[in-house]
Copies of this chain bind each other. A is one copy, B any other.
Amino acid sequence: MATDPPEPVEASSDTPPTPRIRSDARQEQLIDIAIRLFARKGYEGTSLRDIAEEARITKAALYYHFPNKEELYERIVLASMQNLVDTVSAAMAEGATPADRVRLFMLASADFLDRSRDSWIAGSNAFWSNRDAQPRAVTVRLRDTYERLLRDSIRDAIDQGQFRPVDPAMAGRMLLSMLNHLCRWHKLGGRLGTREVIDQYLDMAFGGLSAPAKP
């Protein structure tokens, strides 16, 4: 590398913390740009150069914050997944029955998709793309925690007789398919909100497409 990155400024006890705060704000800005580019162009299609160009900084300045693309990506995915798990768990705590909790899992995830769609796509790509690098164990654990919230409620709903005796893992995958595919066709700010779409999906998935048999 031709240019050395600037040294980090350590705030001592008698200097104001401004430089550190500015650095955090810059990191936030870089992360926002990276989330957008990773979501739009994929992990493989996004280079650190693209991110530096969009942020109008030198590649060396970017290296100071993030020495490599993997680290930046992992940080985005981790923060996004942790946020998703926290939000969805909190929403599910309001459900009176397991079937309610399945519904709340889906609706809280829909709200997350509204607020943080690019993060969702970046996080989703981290698991589902065929890129050679494996996601780190901590990322896999968070994904498993998220999926388990759904699967456990499905299992409980079956145990309590609210759901038919389906395979909880397959039912979970079916519901997650709806969320994951939504990013690919649904436009934010369109006729139907994310929550309305998921509401219709839930009505169909819970009640079934088939008309009730005539008595």
Chain A interface (Cβ < 8 Å from any Cβ of B): 39-45, 99, 102, 124, 127-131, 154, 157, 161-164, 166-167, 170-171, 173-174, 176-178, 180-182, 184-185, 197, 200-201, 203-212
A163 to B210, CA, bound (A): 4
Within the oligomer, what is the number of copies of this chain? 2
Q: How far is the CB of A211 from chain B (nearest CB, A)?
A: 5
* Consensus secondary structure, chain A interface: helix
Chain B residues in 8 Å Cβ range of A99: 210
Chain B residues in 8 Å Cβ range of A124: 184
A177 touches B182 (CB 8 A): yes
Q: Residue of B at shortest CB range from A166?
A: B204
Chain B residues in 8 Å Cβ range of A171: 204, 209
A127 to B183, CA, bound (A): 12
Chain B residues in 8 Å Cβ range of A161: 211
A209 touches B206 (CB 8 A): yes
Please list the 9 inter-chain residue pairs (A to B) with the smallest Cβ-Cβ separation, ordered nearest first. Answer: A208-B208, A44-B45, A177-B181, A128-B184, A45-B45, A42-B42, A177-B177, A41-B44, A40-B130
